[in-house]
Amino acid sequence: MMQRVWMVAARDFSVTIGNKGFLFGILLMPLLICIFVFVGPRILNGRSPVVEGQVAVMDATGSLVSELRLDLAPAAIAARRARDAGPRNPLQRDGPPIPSLAMVEKPSTEDPQVAKNWLLQAPDAPERHLAVIAIHPDAVKRAEGRSEFGSYDLYIASRLDENTENVIHDAMRQGLVNARLKDKGIDPAAVEASMHVVRPVSVTVGVGGERETRRGFSRMLPFLCGILLFMGVLTSGQMLMTSTIEEKSSRVVEVLLAAVSPLELMWGKLLGRLGVGLLILAVYVGLGMFALLEYSLAGLVDPLLLVYFVIFYLLASLVYGGLMMSIGAAVNQVADAQSLMGPVMILLVAPYVLVPMIGQNPNSTLSVAMTFVPPVNSFVVLARLASSTPPPLWQVLGAIATGVVGAGVAVWFAAKVFKIGLLMQGKPPSFGTLVKWARMA
């Protein structure tokens, strides 16, 4: 029996991976990942044009212009950016370009409407007018009887980008704070130095050694695992369904059933597609690991997580693959399968919704409860394992045990429906009919 099962599996596997559409599909996603990881940071930031232009200032305080001129200088902008960036994010290589801003003084008594009209230019004007800043008279010294300082109004040209606007706000904030401190006789540089505490990157100490803590990646990992599992299960499940429908509609299934039993055919197809799914995941995980190596982050992934990933992928694939294959066996064309896909899609979407919640709270009551509910528990427990506080071993083993039971029930159901449905023609059955077939087969 096993020899025939392997032969069916080998044919399904080799035919699938030799298909041009499959090769295109499997390569497309890694290509997008490559673009995102390697090319993206270089093309997203590096080539943005430097914004150049004038910023008009109407200073009603009469004391802020010189301070502001310093704070709008490119060197000051770069220094503020470096100070605010904190520990360097390895995925963010370059920030947006620093704008070149020239300050133009305008009398504070000028009619605000006239000042705003200064921003209305012809598109081909040689010098761009970017913004008008109207500083309130009480921005440096509080007005009598008021607890708060005044601020400023900012008017910007219609095509000013968000980065430049932020630079202006930051410069204004810096300039106002410095001016207020000086007004009180306090040295802004001393305050700045006192306020600044360098935040170190924490070091995670484990049995296997020490490594820099990367909270961002740790937060993303459960979600990434869920997405990968979802993609692998959905891809192999859909391929199983469509290939079964093709075999049925092309009538080759009766030729096959003359050579193998329905159970052998089903297991052969299931194993073949599991192999295809594993190959897809191996490619994706391999590329992911390569990307982590590129950023010296490979140590963040526990090798045991990969083992668990394979186990839970197999369990989830048996459930979803079995169900989708039974749907394929019951209908004659892909369009007919849509009506039966509803319950399976609910089972697939449920973990998709759950995984982000579980990634955030991996030890909540919901997380623990869902760990034992197949078939979603494959996704749930994997998300928990990938989190920074993985579940205890007994829960993982419990999830595997319940997963095996769930897979067994799904494959049993699939085998029953497969046996009856393969030679059924005509009107597609309802899901209730499938259940009836499973009971009578």
CA distances from 34 to 45, 95, 289 (A): 17, 20, 12
Structure tokens at 337: 């399968």
Binding mask 422-441 for another protein (x = CB under 8 A): -x------------------
**Least distance (Å) between residue 400 CB and another protein:** 33
Binding mask 344-373 for another protein (x = CB under 8 A): ------------------------------
Within 8 A by CB and 6+ apart from 14, the residues are none
Q: Is the peptide bond before 188 cis (omega within 30 degrees of 0)?
A: no
Q: Which CB atom, from 32 or from 423, has the smaller least distance to another protein?
A: 423
Residue closer to another protein (CB basis): 18 or 208 = 18
Copy the structure tokens of residue 56.
């008009």
Provide the minimum distance between the beta carbon of 203 and another protein in the complex, in angstroms, as a whole number.
Answer: 56
User: Does 259 participate in binding another protein (rule CB under 8 A)?
Assistant: yes
Question: Per CB under 8 A, does 254 bind another protein?
Answer: yes
Q: Considering the complex, what minimum distance in angstroms separates the CB of residue 329 from another protein?
A: 13
Site string for another protein, 35-64 (x = CB under 8 A): ------------------------------
In the shown chain, the binding pattern of residues 200 to 239 toward another protein, with x for contact by CB under 8 A and - for none, equals ----------------------------------------
Quick check: 250 binds another protein (CB under 8 A)? yes
Does 334 help bind another protein (rule: CB under 8 A)?
Answer: no
* Position 7 contacts another protein (CB under 8 A): yes
Stretch that binds another protein, among 1-9, 49-57, 59-67, 356-364 (CB under 8 A): 1-9
CB of 224 or CB of 265, closer to another protein: 265
Applying CB under 8 A, which of residues 89, 261, 333, 430 lies at the interface with another protein? 261
Inter-residue contact 282 to 309 (CB < 8 Å): no
Determine the Cα–Cα distance for residues 364 and 98; give it in Å rounded to an integer. Answer: 45
In the complex, minimum distance from the CB of residue 421 to another protein, in angstroms, rounded to a whole number? 12
296 lies in the binding site for another protein (CB under 8 A): no
**Closest distance to another protein from the beta carbon of 280 (Å):** 21
Residue 2 as a binder of another protein (CB under 8 A): the answer is: no
| Residue 82 found at the interface with another protein (CB under 8 A) | no
Least distance in angstroms from the C-beta of 235 to another protein: 20
Contact status: 116 vs another protein (CB under 8 A): no
Task: Please select the residue that binds another protein; options are 253, 274, 314, 355, rule is CB under 8 A.
Answer: 253
Shortest Å, Cβ 21 to another protein:
11
* Residue 389 binds to another protein (criterion: CB under 8 A): no
Q: What is the Cα–Cα distance from 39 to 367, expressed in whole angstroms?
A: 37
Picking from 242, 405, 261, 439, the residue whose alpha carbon sits closest to that of residue 324 is 242
Binder among 65, 177, 256, 297 for another protein (CB under 8 A): 256
Does 251 participate in binding another protein (rule CB under 8 A)?
Answer: yes
User: Which residues 11-40 are close enough to bind another protein by CB under 8 A?
Assistant: 11, 15
Which region, judged by CB under 8 A, interacts with another protein, from 88-96, 105-113, 253-261, 286-294?
253-261
| 199-204 CB contacts, 8 Å cutoff, 24+ apart | 199/86, 199/87, 200/87, 201/87
Binding residues for another protein, rule: CB under 8 A, are 3-4, 7-8, 11, 15, 247, 250-261, 419, 423
